[in-house]
Amino acid sequence: MTIPQYSSRKLLAFAAVALVVCSLPVFETQFLNDMEFYSLFADKILSGRLLYRDAMDTKPPLIFLHYAAIFKLFGLNNVTAVKVVTMGWLALSALVLVALRKALSPDGAMPALAALVFILGSFSGWGEEFLSSNTEILANLFILMGIELLFAKGFTRRAARLVAGGCCIGIACLYRYQSAVAFGAYVATVLLRWRHFDRGFRRLFTVGVGVALPAAIVIAYYVRLGAISDLRLLLAYQSHYACDPDRLSWKAVCVRMLLATVGLWPVLVMAAGRAVEILKLRAAASPCEIFQLAFAGCSAATFFVGRRFFAHYFVQAIPPLVLLAVQRMAPLPEPPGSSPRRRTWFVKHALAILAVPAAMFTLINGIYYWTRKQPPPSPNLVAFVNKRSAPTDEVLLWTWRPELLFETKRAFATRLLVNEMLIGRVNPAQESDGHRERRPGLAELWPVYLRDLASAPPKLIFDALPGTSEWPIDCFPQLAEFLSRYQPCQVVDDVCVYFRRD
């Protein structure tokens, strides 16, 4: 069955069915990529602690507040609710994408096709990267809402709508910093098609004010609390992380690029075809076409920002690529008297071709999560913690075993959940005689870390078993005095536990 035989109502129905079916593997595992990290931060925020003062990470604030809000509404650590909300988030993104398709291509056929292609593309990848409730999926909704406001009714000139569109992009930046490329694509479109926009500088300034407004509100909030020093430390933390990427070979980079795009190849092929058509138009290309090209190019480029090349970075590029691909699948009507454009077999059957990777990855992800072994429970450790500590006591997690915090129902101590920025990150590509080397950590974190420990010493410390870790907590001289306040390591359920002397 070819694309023109489907009605808009059927396309939306297919999209809804695909969303539900392709989401099933998500519920076969508790946490996907980074979800346990966001959950533990949300737990600490809900305990009355301040983000970045009591819980520090490189990510913007809204991803943690998003999880905290869901846990507040549906129960602590209710990750099932997080996944259901994410499904709703994708559905809303698909509907906004349909509206954006109408705004950018008013004469385009079947705008509802964008919803189905977007849903299929969103599930055409590895579960840990594409199905996780991560920053890219959540930011995409606000990016699309902002762009729809900016382009509604033929490049709106109303100041309120321009500020609102900019604010949506600014909110997206508080989920993921790289969301700012959407504003960059808008700026590029205005500059490249200057004659099509009245009051161009005023327009850009107005949108820019909207983009900056959400961040300004966050900064003002921290200033009011007297916590501006914590934001300064956050900037140093982020700068160190950005300047310390994994040193990967070009082969490793190519492999990561392949992993990120292998299921999206039909979308990429059609988007590339449409991009070539726009480039051939040159000066005749409309502002909407220029924007779609700039939006797709800038969004795809975020995969390379930071030089870590994680596959989930590419999720941000799915919506703009879908807009280009749908334009290729359902082109604008031909002018009267012109010969109809020849559509290749691939384009005619693109919808069926797009469904194949989505179905394959749904099956692969489902089998993987259904058969994956979960970490064994730690009943003895839970009993030990309940006997030796109160529910309000905190635990220093020196080894990366986040499931221990969920089992014991304890918050993590100090503002750092993981210590790699403190003691230096490991580069998995560099090994010397089987020993993985660590790069230098952020030096100014040590005084802050020791001050946190002194002001609120954790009741317990969880570390790896003796002899199994290359960097146990007792090998750092900076922590020797602090560790002297604790009883020697006691092994409980394969965890090295230090108990504070009262």
| Whole-number Å distance between alpha carbons of 234 and 51 | 10
- 97 has a pLDDT exceeding 60: yes
Residue position matching structure tokens 């580069």: 427
Give residue-wise pLDDT tens across range 288-298. Answer: 999 999 999 99
**Most confidently modeled of 3-12, 240-249, 401-410?**
401-410
| 165 contacts 210 by C-beta, under 8 angstroms | yes
Question: What does DSSP say about strands 490-492 and 495-499: parallel, antiparallel, or unpaired?
Answer: antiparallel
pLDDT at 2: 47
Picking from 398, 380, 397, the residue whose alpha carbon sits closest to that of residue 492 is 380
Task: Please state the domain extents for the chain.
Answer: 3-332+343-370, 379-499
Q: What is the dihedral of CA 298, 303, 307, 311, to 10 degrees?
A: 180
pLDDT at 243: 86
| Whole-number Å distance between alpha carbons of 31 and 93 | 23
Percentage of residues in the chain with pLDDT exceeding 70?
Answer: 94
Give residue-wise pLDDT tens across range 155-169. Answer: 778 899 999 999 999
Average pLDDT over residues 44-65: 95
Picking from 121, 64, 109, the residue whose alpha carbon sits closest to that of residue 333 is 109
DSSP track, 250-289: HHHHHHHHHHHHGGGHHHHHHHHHHHHHHHHHGGG--HHH
- The rounded Cα 128 to chain-centroid distance in angstroms is 11
Average pLDDT over residues 412-436: 75
